[in-house]
Amino acid sequence: MPSYKLIYFDGRGFAEPARMLFHLAEVPFEDVRIPFEELMPGKQSEGFLEMKDKTPFGKFPVLSIDGFDIPQSSAIIRYLAKKFGYAGKTPEEQAWADAIVDQFKDYMESFRQFIYAQRGGKPEEEVKKIHNEVFGPVKETFLRELERILKKNRSGYLVGAGLTWADLVIADHLHTLENLKELEVKSLEEYKERIYSLPELRDYIQGRPQREM
């Protein structure tokens, strides 16, 4: 079996669905968690800067497979999902999972804008404006799309009849929204809870480091 190393910051963020996939597939991996302090300019250690410099795009997460590095979270998670059987059962299901994750990536542009404003020390009024005029409307649209997809698909999963990586990406972000008190859609709370309660995920989720996002 190849030796896997997943390198990311010490949060859930863009890497958590990859961690979940390793646990789902019961495949051992090295879970390298970089302290968030390394993100602060001027506070970065030499070891971190050296590691960052060696990544393909100077960004994390990176998945290292026997020394071969894959950057970009979606590429990493899709790769593992294919290996472990969670990418979708047909080419059409795979494309649909891809599309949902790309739509999520588009939505994340406004989520990031809000979080950066909130955590970056912008004046409260500006944060509120970004929340109400940028993030809020984009979030509402995206959550409505998720609701519609789930309602139409009926299996309780986003794609086809079973769990795909799209469920892991979405459910884990819904948990983040929940933590931020930004998820007020009952059917999506239930969906997230259903994914989080899957017997093959439950223990991992209960035992993992608890992080706000």
Residues that bind its own copies (CB under 8 A): 56-57, 65, 68, 70-76, 78-79, 82-83, 91-92, 94-96, 98-99, 102-103, 105, 109, 145
Q: CA 207, 209, 210, 213 torsion: positive or negative?
A: negative
142 versus 205: smaller Cβ distance to its own copies:
142
For the bound state, the minimum distance from the C-beta of residue 196 to its own copies, rounded and expressed in Å, comes to: 25
> What one-character DSSP code corresponds to residue 162?
S
58 versus 207: smaller Cβ distance to its own copies:
58
CA–CA dist 186, 192 (Å, integer): 10
Tell me the H-state helices in 120-158.
124-129, 136-153
AA letter at 42: G
86 versus 205: smaller Cβ distance to its own copies:
86
For the bound state, the minimum distance from the C-beta of residue 131 to its own copies, rounded and expressed in Å, comes to: 20
Which of 91, 76, 89, 71 minimizes the C-alpha distance to 169? 76
Helix and strand numbers (H, E) in the chain are 9, 4
For the bound state, the minimum distance from the C-beta of residue 181 to its own copies, rounded and expressed in Å, comes to: 26
For the bound state, the minimum distance from the C-beta of residue 40 to its own copies, rounded and expressed in Å, comes to: 20
Query: What spatial distance separates the first Cα and last Cα of the chain, rounded to whole Å?
Result: 31
CA–CA dist 35, 163 (Å, integer): 31
The DSSP-derived string for 14-78 is TTHHHHHHHHHTT---EEEEE-GGGGSTT---HHHHHHHHHSSSS-S-EEEETTEEEESHHHHHH
30 versus 109: smaller Cβ distance to its own copies:
109
For the bound state, the minimum distance from the C-beta of residue 70 to its own copies, rounded and expressed in Å, comes to: 5
18 versus 205: smaller Cβ distance to its own copies:
18
For the bound state, the minimum distance from the C-beta of residue 99 to its own copies, rounded and expressed in Å, comes to: 4
104 versus 205: smaller Cβ distance to its own copies:
104
